[in-house]
Amino acid sequence: MTESFSLWRKDKFIMTESFSGDHFIGVKALWGENNLECSFVNIYAPCDLQRKKELWRCLVEVMRSRGGDLWCVGGDFNAVRVEGERRGVSSYWREDDMKCFDEFITEAELVDLPLVGRKYTWYKTDGKCMSRLDRFLVSNAWLSHWPHTTQWGLSRGVSDHCAILLKNEDINWGPKPFRVKCGGEGCICTKGETQALKM
C-alpha cells in the first residue's frame, strides 16, 4: 500500500491493535469519552478488477473474524457504485467493477453515506473526467451511535483527489414546516401552530 496513513489524537483515541493487508491498514481503538470500541480501515484499492475482488473478499473476512459492531472503512476505492458517480469516462468496461463494489458493500453490511458539498472526489488533470472514488462506508451500528454522520467533499488542493471529512453533526435547519388540515369540522392544528395562524 502506498501513500496512506492514519492519524489520531492520543487523548481521544486509544489504539488497542492494528492490522493490515494488501491495499489496506486498519486499527481497532477505544474512542471518545465513553471508550467505544471502533474499527477504522484506510483503503487504497488497486485499479485492476481481479485485485479489487480479492481486496473486497479479504476485507469481508477481516471484518467478520475481528468482530465488533462499529466499523468505518474509508479511502480511495477506485470504484463507483452507479454510473452517475462518473462523468467523461467510458463505462462499457466498468459494469462488472460497479457490481462487485456494490456487492462488497452489501456483503460487508456497510452503509454508503451521501456525499455533501460536491458530486465527485477525483478529477483528471484536464478537468474532462471526474468520478466519486473516495468515500467512507460505515456499519449500521455506527449510525445507531452517531445518527447524524455525514461525509463532506472538501476543496481539491494539489492532489487530483478531494479530501473527505466525516463528521457527526445535527444541523438545525430552523422551524419545521407544518400543514393545517381544514375540513367540515374546522381547522386542526397544534398549540404552537395556532399562534402562527393568528398573525
| Residue-wise pLDDT tens digits, 162-174 | 888 898 877 666 6
Which single residue is written with the C-alpha cell 469481508? 60
Q: Assign 87 a pLDDT band (cuts: 50, 70, 90).
A: confident
Task: List the end-to-end C-alpha distance of the chain, in Å, as a whole number.
Answer: 64
> How many residues appear in the chain?
199
pLDDT at 173: 60
* Span 89-138, pLDDT tens digits: 765 557 888 999 999 999 999 999 999 998 988 888 887 888 889 999 99
Q: Hey, what domains does the chain have and what are their CATH numbers?
A: 13-172 (3.60.10.10)
Question: Helices in 22-168 by DSSP H: which ranges?
Answer: 49-66, 95-107, 140-145
Q: What is the pTM of this model?
A: 0.80
